[in-house]
Every structure is written in C-alpha cells, then in structure tokens.
Amino acid sequence: MKKYLILPIFSLFVLIASCGQNDSDTVEVMDPHHFLETLENDSSSQLVDVRTTEEFGVSHLKEAQNICVTDADFEEKIKGLDKTKPVYVYCRSGNRSARAAKILEENGFTKVYDLQGGITSWDEEGLETEQ
C-alpha cells in the first residue's frame, strides 16, 4: 500500500515547488542599479510609472510617463505603447508594477522590466528622481 502513496505525494511536492516560480520570458524583475543600467543602454525603452497621478507629482524617474494601473482605463492607455519595444515599469514598492507587468504581458507586450522594490528601493540606493 505504501507504493501507491509515493506517486501522489511526489506529484504534490512537484506542484507545490513550481507554484512560486516565474516561468515568464516576458517579465524580468530587476534591482535598481540593473534596472537603471539596462534602461540607459536601451534607446527604444518606454518608462512607465504605474502609480497615481498624485504620487507621480511628488517624484518620479526622469522621462517616465504616468499610466496608473489602478485606473479603469489602464488597458486602454497602454494601447499607446509599442508592444515590440521594452517597457520598464515601477510603482512605490513593487506590488502595482507586478500587476501592471502581468497585464502588459497578457496584452502581448514582448519584454517588460519591473523595478524590484519600486521607487522606494530606487530612493534607498540614492538614485536620481525628479519632480
């Protein structure tokens, strides 16, 4: 009888272990310095701050455009972006940008870079923002 339990237990273990993995080739989460380096070396980049207009007004990354992921028309607004060019997204801490990255991927964008820890981690590293 113990033989019959091995396969189901092993299968359950494999399933649980794979749940936390990001198998997406489209979305890449990057620390602030790697994000900046990649962004600076990418002349075709599209930088999107997915926070609210109010948060964007306080400070944002240079040359970022503001498309708030929590707005009802987010999917409509991203149609103005080029799906074939990389999109760099960030928010305050990384939660909303992860949501935005998933939506971008679902809408056919080919490469999305997500700033790990958001603008909070960017600021902690002493990197430049503007108002």
- Which positions are annotated as active-site residues? 91
- Check: CB of residue 51 under 8 Å from CB of residue 111: no
- Coil/strand/helix, residue 48: strand
∠ CA 24-110-87 to the nearest 5 degrees?
Answer: 100
**Distance separating alpha carbons of residues 34 and 5, to the nearest angstrom:** 46
User: Can you tell me whether residue 39 is helix, strand or coil?
Assistant: helix
